[in-house]
Structure 1
Protein backbone atom coordinates (compact mmCIF):
# COMPACT_ATOMS: atom_id res chain seq x y z
CA UNK A 1 0.00 0.00 0.00
CA UNK A 2 1.46 3.38 -1.00
CA UNK A 3 1.34 6.47 1.18
CA UNK A 4 -1.19 8.05 -1.20
CA UNK A 5 -3.53 5.06 -0.70
CA UNK A 6 -3.81 5.81 3.02
CA UNK A 7 -4.76 9.51 2.61
CA UNK A 8 -8.40 10.55 3.10
CA UNK A 9 -10.11 11.40 -0.24
CA UNK A 10 -10.31 15.18 0.40
CA UNK A 11 -6.68 15.35 1.54
CA UNK A 12 -5.63 13.27 -1.47
CA UNK A 13 -7.52 15.60 -3.84
CA UNK A 14 -5.78 18.64 -2.33
CA UNK A 15 -2.34 16.99 -2.46
CA UNK A 16 -2.88 16.06 -6.12
CA UNK A 17 -3.98 19.63 -6.90
CA UNK A 18 -0.83 21.02 -5.27
CA UNK A 19 1.35 18.64 -7.29
CA UNK A 20 -0.44 19.56 -10.53
CA UNK A 21 -0.38 23.29 -9.79
CA UNK A 22 3.38 23.23 -9.33
CA UNK A 23 3.85 21.78 -12.83
CA UNK A 24 1.01 23.56 -14.70
CA UNK A 25 2.80 26.48 -16.33
CA UNK A 26 -0.08 27.37 -18.67
CA UNK A 27 -2.68 27.68 -15.91
CA UNK A 28 -0.40 29.77 -13.70
CA UNK A 29 0.84 31.93 -16.61
CA UNK A 30 -2.73 32.91 -17.52
CA UNK A 31 -3.34 34.10 -13.96
CA UNK A 32 -5.86 31.42 -13.05
CA UNK A 33 -6.70 30.88 -9.40
CA UNK A 34 -7.58 27.48 -7.95
CA UNK A 35 -10.64 28.20 -5.79
CA UNK A 36 -11.62 24.72 -4.62
CA UNK A 37 -10.87 21.07 -5.14
CA UNK A 38 -12.54 17.88 -3.92
CA UNK A 39 -12.68 14.32 -5.25
CA UNK A 40 -13.94 14.67 -8.85
CA UNK A 41 -14.48 18.43 -8.53
CA UNK A 42 -12.57 21.66 -9.03
CA UNK A 43 -13.23 25.38 -9.47
CA UNK A 44 -10.85 27.85 -11.07
CA UNK A 45 -11.24 31.52 -11.93
CA UNK A 46 -9.51 33.91 -14.33
CA UNK A 47 -9.77 37.63 -15.05
CA UNK A 48 -10.22 38.53 -18.72
CA UNK A 49 -7.54 40.96 -19.85
CA UNK A 50 -7.33 43.10 -22.98
CA UNK A 51 -4.79 40.63 -24.40
CA UNK A 52 -7.51 37.94 -24.29
CA UNK A 53 -10.01 39.83 -26.47
CA UNK A 54 -10.67 39.16 -30.13
CA UNK A 55 -11.65 41.31 -33.13
CA UNK A 56 -15.24 41.53 -31.83
CA UNK A 57 -14.12 43.02 -28.51
CA UNK A 58 -15.12 39.90 -26.61
CA UNK A 59 -13.04 37.23 -24.88
CA UNK A 60 -11.52 34.84 -27.42
CA UNK A 61 -13.18 31.45 -27.08
CA UNK A 62 -9.82 29.73 -26.74
CA UNK A 63 -9.29 31.37 -23.35
CA UNK A 64 -12.73 30.30 -22.14
CA UNK A 65 -11.98 26.77 -23.36
CA UNK A 66 -8.59 26.83 -21.60
CA UNK A 67 -10.13 27.88 -18.29
CA UNK A 68 -12.72 25.09 -18.53
CA UNK A 69 -10.05 22.59 -19.60
CA UNK A 70 -7.91 23.48 -16.58
CA UNK A 71 -10.86 22.96 -14.21
CA UNK A 72 -11.49 19.63 -15.97
CA UNK A 73 -7.83 18.63 -15.50
CA UNK A 74 -7.82 19.45 -11.80
CA UNK A 75 -11.12 17.61 -11.23
CA UNK A 76 -10.15 14.40 -13.01
CA UNK A 77 -6.70 14.26 -11.41
CA UNK A 78 -7.93 14.15 -7.79
CA UNK A 79 -7.41 10.40 -7.38
CA UNK A 80 -3.60 10.26 -7.76
CA UNK A 81 -3.85 8.62 -11.18
CA UNK A 82 -2.42 10.59 -14.09
CA UNK A 83 -5.43 11.45 -16.21
CA UNK A 84 -5.58 13.30 -19.52
CA UNK A 85 -8.27 14.61 -21.84
CA UNK A 86 -9.55 12.14 -24.41
CA UNK A 87 -12.23 14.37 -25.93
CA UNK A 88 -13.65 17.79 -25.08
CA UNK A 89 -16.44 19.95 -26.44
CA UNK A 90 -17.67 23.40 -25.57
CA UNK A 91 -20.82 25.36 -26.24
CA UNK A 92 -20.50 29.13 -25.93
CA UNK A 93 -23.70 30.57 -24.48
CA UNK A 94 -22.85 34.26 -24.01
CA UNK A 95 -19.83 36.51 -24.58
CA UNK A 96 -17.33 37.48 -21.91
CA UNK A 97 -15.61 40.85 -21.90
CA UNK A 98 -12.43 42.52 -20.75
CA UNK A 99 -12.62 42.95 -16.99
CA UNK A 100 -14.92 39.98 -16.43
CA UNK A 101 -13.86 37.35 -13.92
CA UNK A 102 -14.83 33.92 -15.18
CA UNK A 103 -15.20 30.86 -12.98
CA UNK A 104 -15.13 27.29 -14.27
CA UNK A 105 -16.73 24.73 -11.98
CA UNK A 106 -16.08 21.08 -12.84
CA UNK A 107 -18.01 18.11 -11.54
CA UNK A 108 -17.62 14.44 -12.22
CA UNK A 109 -20.55 12.82 -14.00
CA UNK A 110 -19.12 9.31 -14.38
CA UNK A 111 -15.85 7.50 -13.65
CA UNK A 112 -15.52 3.87 -14.68
CA UNK A 113 -12.39 1.93 -15.47
CA UNK A 114 -9.95 4.23 -17.25
CA UNK A 115 -12.61 6.67 -18.49
CA UNK A 116 -14.51 9.56 -16.99
CA UNK A 117 -17.00 12.24 -17.99
CA UNK A 118 -16.94 15.73 -16.47
CA UNK A 119 -19.23 18.72 -16.94
CA UNK A 120 -17.78 22.18 -16.50
CA UNK A 121 -19.93 25.30 -16.20
CA UNK A 122 -18.26 28.64 -16.96
CA UNK A 123 -19.92 31.69 -15.43
CA UNK A 124 -19.05 35.37 -15.07
CA UNK A 125 -18.90 37.44 -11.87
CA UNK A 126 -22.67 37.97 -12.07
CA UNK A 127 -23.32 34.21 -12.13
CA UNK A 128 -24.39 34.34 -15.79
CA UNK A 129 -23.57 31.27 -17.85
CA UNK A 130 -20.88 31.91 -20.44
CA UNK A 131 -20.14 28.37 -21.63
CA UNK A 132 -20.80 24.70 -21.00
CA UNK A 133 -17.90 22.28 -21.45
CA UNK A 134 -17.91 18.48 -21.38
CA UNK A 135 -14.68 16.56 -21.02
CA UNK A 136 -14.01 12.86 -21.44
CA UNK A 137 -10.93 11.69 -19.55
CA UNK A 138 -8.58 8.74 -19.87
CA UNK A 139 -6.36 7.49 -17.06
CA UNK A 140 -2.79 6.76 -18.18
CA UNK A 141 0.20 5.22 -16.43
CA UNK A 142 1.69 6.96 -13.44
CA UNK A 143 0.72 8.83 -10.30
CA UNK A 144 0.95 12.49 -9.32
CA UNK A 145 2.27 11.85 -5.83
CA UNK A 146 5.36 9.84 -4.90
CA UNK A 147 4.90 6.57 -3.01
Structure 2
Protein backbone atom coordinates (compact mmCIF):
# COMPACT_ATOMS: atom_id res chain seq x y z
CA UNK A 1 0.00 0.00 0.00
CA UNK A 2 1.09 3.56 -0.66
CA UNK A 3 0.75 6.41 1.81
CA UNK A 4 0.09 9.26 -0.61
CA UNK A 5 0.11 11.78 2.24
CA UNK A 6 3.85 11.13 2.61
CA UNK A 7 4.58 11.64 -1.10
CA UNK A 8 5.24 14.90 -2.94
CA UNK A 9 3.22 15.67 -6.10
CA UNK A 10 6.38 14.90 -8.12
CA UNK A 11 6.78 11.50 -6.43
CA UNK A 12 3.13 10.72 -7.13
CA UNK A 13 3.60 11.68 -10.79
CA UNK A 14 6.68 9.47 -11.10
CA UNK A 15 5.06 6.50 -9.35
CA UNK A 16 1.87 6.84 -11.44
CA UNK A 17 3.96 6.98 -14.63
CA UNK A 18 5.94 3.90 -13.61
CA UNK A 19 2.72 1.98 -12.95
CA UNK A 20 1.29 3.01 -16.32
CA UNK A 21 4.53 2.35 -18.21
CA UNK A 22 4.62 -1.24 -16.96
CA UNK A 23 1.39 -1.97 -18.82
CA UNK A 24 1.96 0.23 -21.88
CA UNK A 25 3.14 -2.26 -24.49
CA UNK A 26 2.26 0.07 -27.39
CA UNK A 27 4.63 2.85 -26.32
CA UNK A 28 7.34 0.37 -25.42
CA UNK A 29 7.10 -1.63 -28.66
CA UNK A 30 7.28 1.55 -30.72
CA UNK A 31 10.57 2.40 -28.99
CA UNK A 32 9.24 5.39 -27.08
CA UNK A 33 11.04 6.64 -24.01
CA UNK A 34 9.44 8.45 -21.10
CA UNK A 35 11.87 11.34 -20.69
CA UNK A 36 10.07 13.45 -18.09
CA UNK A 37 6.92 13.44 -16.00
CA UNK A 38 5.58 15.99 -13.52
CA UNK A 39 2.09 16.87 -12.28
CA UNK A 40 0.16 17.75 -15.44
CA UNK A 41 3.15 17.33 -17.77
CA UNK A 42 5.06 14.62 -19.61
CA UNK A 43 7.65 14.33 -22.36
CA UNK A 44 8.10 11.24 -24.52
CA UNK A 45 10.35 10.69 -27.51
CA UNK A 46 10.66 8.19 -30.35
CA UNK A 47 12.87 7.58 -33.36
CA UNK A 48 11.01 7.13 -36.65
CA UNK A 49 11.84 3.80 -38.30
CA UNK A 50 11.35 2.66 -41.88
CA UNK A 51 8.42 0.52 -40.69
CA UNK A 52 6.66 3.78 -39.74
CA UNK A 53 6.82 5.28 -43.24
CA UNK A 54 3.88 6.04 -45.51
CA UNK A 55 3.58 5.99 -49.30
CA UNK A 56 5.37 9.36 -49.53
CA UNK A 57 8.44 8.10 -47.66
CA UNK A 58 7.59 10.22 -44.62
CA UNK A 59 6.45 9.17 -41.17
CA UNK A 60 2.84 8.02 -41.21
CA UNK A 61 0.73 10.51 -39.27
CA UNK A 62 -0.70 7.76 -37.10
CA UNK A 63 2.68 7.24 -35.46
CA UNK A 64 3.05 10.95 -34.74
CA UNK A 65 -0.46 10.89 -33.29
CA UNK A 66 0.38 7.85 -31.15
CA UNK A 67 3.47 9.54 -29.71
CA UNK A 68 1.44 12.66 -28.87
CA UNK A 69 -1.39 10.57 -27.43
CA UNK A 70 1.06 8.72 -25.16
CA UNK A 71 2.48 12.01 -23.86
CA UNK A 72 -1.09 13.19 -23.28
CA UNK A 73 -1.87 10.00 -21.33
CA UNK A 74 1.14 10.29 -19.03
CA UNK A 75 0.48 13.98 -18.36
CA UNK A 76 -3.20 13.62 -17.50
CA UNK A 77 -2.62 10.47 -15.39
CA UNK A 78 0.11 12.07 -13.28
CA UNK A 79 -1.96 12.59 -10.13
CA UNK A 80 -2.79 8.94 -9.32
CA UNK A 81 -6.25 9.23 -10.83
CA UNK A 82 -7.24 7.06 -13.79
CA UNK A 83 -7.92 9.45 -16.66
CA UNK A 84 -8.94 8.69 -20.25
CA UNK A 85 -8.99 10.70 -23.43
CA UNK A 86 -12.39 12.17 -24.24
CA UNK A 87 -11.53 14.04 -27.43
CA UNK A 88 -8.36 14.95 -29.28
CA UNK A 89 -7.18 16.52 -32.51
CA UNK A 90 -3.87 16.95 -34.27
CA UNK A 91 -2.54 19.37 -36.83
CA UNK A 92 0.48 18.29 -38.88
CA UNK A 93 2.79 21.21 -39.63
CA UNK A 94 5.92 19.75 -41.24
CA UNK A 95 6.88 16.38 -42.71
CA UNK A 96 8.75 13.89 -40.56
CA UNK A 97 11.49 11.76 -42.12
CA UNK A 98 12.71 8.26 -41.39
CA UNK A 99 15.43 8.53 -38.75
CA UNK A 100 14.02 11.68 -37.15
CA UNK A 101 13.90 11.70 -33.36
CA UNK A 102 10.53 13.12 -32.29
CA UNK A 103 9.75 14.61 -28.91
CA UNK A 104 6.21 15.16 -27.65
CA UNK A 105 5.95 17.59 -24.73
CA UNK A 106 2.55 17.63 -23.01
CA UNK A 107 1.41 20.56 -20.89
CA UNK A 108 -1.77 20.85 -18.86
CA UNK A 109 -3.77 23.90 -19.93
CA UNK A 110 -6.81 23.47 -17.70
CA UNK A 111 -8.00 21.06 -15.02
CA UNK A 112 -11.51 21.60 -13.67
CA UNK A 113 -13.32 18.84 -11.79
CA UNK A 114 -13.11 15.68 -13.87
CA UNK A 115 -12.13 17.42 -17.14
CA UNK A 116 -8.75 18.57 -18.41
CA UNK A 117 -7.25 20.10 -21.53
CA UNK A 118 -3.67 19.36 -22.61
CA UNK A 119 -1.54 20.74 -25.42
CA UNK A 120 1.18 18.54 -26.87
CA UNK A 121 3.91 20.04 -29.04
CA UNK A 122 5.78 17.57 -31.24
CA UNK A 123 9.24 18.59 -32.47
CA UNK A 124 12.08 16.82 -34.26
CA UNK A 125 15.73 16.57 -33.25
CA UNK A 126 16.41 20.01 -34.77
CA UNK A 127 13.61 21.67 -32.78
CA UNK A 128 11.35 21.97 -35.83
CA UNK A 129 7.69 22.06 -34.75
CA UNK A 130 6.15 19.18 -36.73
CA UNK A 131 2.70 18.81 -35.16
CA UNK A 132 0.37 20.19 -32.50
CA UNK A 133 -2.05 17.96 -30.59
CA UNK A 134 -4.80 19.01 -28.18
CA UNK A 135 -6.37 16.45 -25.88
CA UNK A 136 -9.42 16.68 -23.65
CA UNK A 137 -9.43 14.28 -20.72
CA UNK A 138 -11.98 12.86 -18.32
CA UNK A 139 -11.20 11.21 -14.99
CA UNK A 140 -12.92 7.90 -14.22
CA UNK A 141 -12.97 5.61 -11.21
CA UNK A 142 -9.69 4.14 -10.06
CA UNK A 143 -6.12 4.96 -9.14
CA UNK A 144 -2.73 3.80 -10.40
CA UNK A 145 -1.24 3.30 -6.96
CA UNK A 146 -2.84 1.32 -4.16
CA UNK A 147 -3.74 3.70 -1.36
CA UNK A 148 -4.04 3.17 2.38
CA UNK A 149 -7.52 3.28 3.83
Check whether the contact 1:4–1:80 (CA below 8 A) recurs between aligned residues: no
Give the structure 1 partner of residue 119 of structure 2.
119
Give the structure 2 partner of residue 90 of structure 1.
90
Say whether 1:44 aligns with 2:44: yes
Give the structure 1 partner of residue 8 of structure 2.
8
**Structure 2 segments unaligned to the other structure (5+ residues):** none
User: CA-atom RMSD, angstroms?
Assistant: 0.8
**3-state DSSP class of the match of 1:44?**
strand
Check whether the contact 1:90–1:132 (CA below 8 A) recurs between aligned residues: yes
State the distance in 2 between where 1:115 and 1:6 align: 26
Aligned-pair CA distance for 1:7? 1.2
Q: Which stretches of structure 1, 4 residues or more, deviate above 6 A after TM superposition?
A: none
**3-state DSSP class of the match of 2:95?**
coil
**3-state DSSP class of the match of 1:84?**
strand
State the distance in 2 between where 1:47 and 1:27 align: 12
Superposed, 1:58-137 pairs within 5 Å as 58-137=58-137
State the distance in 1 between where 2:5 and 2:115 align: 20
Residues matched between the structures, number: 146
**Structure 1 segments unaligned to the other structure (5+ residues):** none
Deviations 1:7-49 (A, max 9, x none): 1000110000100000111010100000000000000000000
